[in-house]
Amino acid sequence: MTDRERAEPSSDRSEPPGPTWQRTLLWIFLAALSVRLLYLVQYSQSPFWLPALDSLYHDLQARELAQGREPAEPYFRAPLYVWMLGAIYRLAGPNYWAARLVQATLGAGSCVLAAQLGRAWFGDRRVGWVAGGLLALYGPLVFFEGELHTPVLEVFLTLAFLFAAGCALNAPTVVGWLGAGLVSGLAAITRPNALVGLPLTVAAAVAPRYFGGAAKGPSVLIRCAALFLGILIPVGGVTLRNVIVSGDPVFIASQGGINFFLGNRPDADGITPTTPRRYAYTDTYRDSVELFGRRAAEEAAGRPLKASEAQSYWVRQGLAWWSADLGGALRLTFKKLVLAFTHREIRNNHSFDFVRSRMAPVLWAFPIGYGLVAPLGLVAMVRSARRRPETRLPTLFAGLYTVSFVLFFVADRFRLPVAALLTVFAASLLVSCTDAFRGRAPAPPRSMAVALIAAALLVWVDWYPTRSPRADAMDWFSAGNRLREMRRPDEAEGYYREAARLDPTNVDVRLNHGASLWDQGRAGEAEAIWRAALATAPGAREHPSLNFNLAMAALEGGRVAEARALLAKTLALDPNHAGARRELDALPAASPPTPATP
């Protein structure tokens, strides 16, 4: 410890003993929970309250699980979040309020963990309550905790893992190391990226003093054995389940291969996980990435594939692109690395900025975002790694975790566990600068100001564009889809119209825009929208659903011959189109059903 560090005051020494810290944690929890409840009250009035895309996938899987049904195949996604959601549905029914209240409670718990980590890493309770307060008001986290999605568990378990690892380092026991491994394993079956913490935790078990821990306690061998056993319980259990139900040894989940390919191919932009082709399905909902990942791989192989075989195929495809175009792969990876630190919130399913501006303006009242915590947190990480050994494990974890998702593609929700850690470090720098301003600590060196400017330039300069009219159109389109599902087609029409204005080439937008007019009994206007798509949207003429809807419009207008030709074309494009087969068989006495939507 340097003389400067010895001179810094510690609130731990200045605060009187007693339940002060416990009361602080309680207030942080209650404040964070209040923030999240306030958001949910407003968000519940928006069409996005209904799940779609990834959230819908989780919702449907959890409903099946709540009824005692589970897929007889390896998990495509890590299962812990769906297990939690299924348990909530089993107890309270498929109630979106119940699920989100549980998640709000977990989110408030994350803020308490951030406070605990701030105090533990920096020996100052003020850092703890500032960290908890910053995370309580971190707008993107509040937003994602309101989705039926994994970030709420990812952040909570990441912070819980680092807290458990710190406890195991400071007071080494077999139970402590077992607990650290168990929490790490739970984080891994929420999102396998969390396993980047394994080599770091092993290093901490082998060389505890380097990470600010105590060398006493169980031997290195026993520490590592307890750690691995803890991880093996959840991770090994999920993998064993995959083998038992299918005979296919998939490690946790099989989505890694196709996601690696989507982020590492000639057409990849680093932020968009769109598949090169969309496959039709007859179920209520199927994940387009999962569907493409299996069917396209099987078409390439010319035979049915196991999940592990499909995953291996896509890994090989991604690596083949790296081999064929190393320069392009490195440029794309550098772009993704830079975008991992942008102040912009990069949409994945739907946009935080869109929800804040259109659906839940209360998010403006929670002003903490990545643009604030990242520059402060990055500088504090570098500054602390040398001075405080306790901070080395979270610093290295944040770096490896960032690399783990940069290898695939970048989105705002992927970096939330790292953002939570940066929040804790940002709190330490804010407290340190406040002490310097008040004369309670030496002034920070000029090098720190230079580092802050460099970090701010990295974060705040838009080195690569992340927003476009086409991307913005998808938020309007998604809102319109949910309003249609809620049987509010007149409101949906306005959202589709704006989506079409932003992206006139999107066939699906035109398809559903027309369908919203059809729902209102305005068949002529619907047909005009669909026919306009034929002239302006690339690929529209080969779109099965568009041809089917035009056939329904022709039937509505009594043009049976035209309808027959369009139905035949629909079946030629999609031989499994049940609606087209039914209507063609029933001609000429068919009555037009509701138009199809993608």
- For 528-545, the pLDDT digits (tens) are 998 888 887 777 788 888
Distance CA 40, CA 31 (A): 14
pLDDT at 596: 62
The HSE-up count of residue 477 (CA atoms within 13 Å, CB side) is 25
C-beta separation of 264 from 329 below 8 A: yes
Structure tokens at 258: 């196709």
Distance CA 470, CA 391 (A): 42
C-beta separation of 467 from 342 below 8 A: no
* pLDDT-wise least confident of 125-129, 179-183, 402-406, 553-557: 553-557
Asked if pLDDT for residue 177 goes beyond 50, the answer is yes
Element (H, E) at 303: none
Asked if pLDDT for residue 225 goes beyond 90, the answer is yes
pLDDT at 155: 98
High-pLDDT (> 90) share of the chain, %? 72
Q: Euclidean distance between the first and final Cα of the chain, in Å?
A: 62
Coarse DSSP helix, strand, coil percentages of the chain, rounded to the nearest 5 percent: 70, 0, 30
Write the DSSP symbol of residue 595. P
* pLDDT-wise least confident of 80-84, 126-130, 201-205, 576-580: 576-580
**192-223 burial, b if ≥16 CB within 10 A, otherwise e?**
bbbbbbbebbeebbeebeebbbeeebbeeeeb
Q: Which of 245, 189, 281 is nearest to 70 (CA)?
A: 245
Mean pLDDT of all residues in 389-408:
96
The partner residues of 368 in beta bridges, in order of sequence, read 138
Mean pLDDT of all residues in 61-82:
94
Choice between 10 and 279, residue whose per-residue pLDDT is larger: 279
pLDDT at 110: 98
pTM of the model: 0.91
pLDDT in tens, 469-512: 988 999 999 999 999 988 999 999 999 999 999 998 898 999 99
For residue 152, give the 3-state DSSP assignment: helix
Asked if pLDDT for residue 257 goes beyond 90, the answer is yes
Question: For the chain, what is the mean pLDDT?
Answer: 90
List of domains in the chain: 3-243+346-460 (no CATH), 469-586 (1.25.40.10)
* pLDDT-wise least confident of 37-46, 279-288, 549-558: 279-288
Structure tokens at 205: 């078990």
C-beta separation of 501 from 472 below 8 A: no
Helix 392-406, helix 151-170: angle, nearest 10: 150
Our CA angle for 551, 595, 491, nearest 5°, is: 135
Asked if pLDDT for residue 119 goes beyond 70, the answer is yes
pLDDT in tens, 95-110: 999 999 999 999 999 9
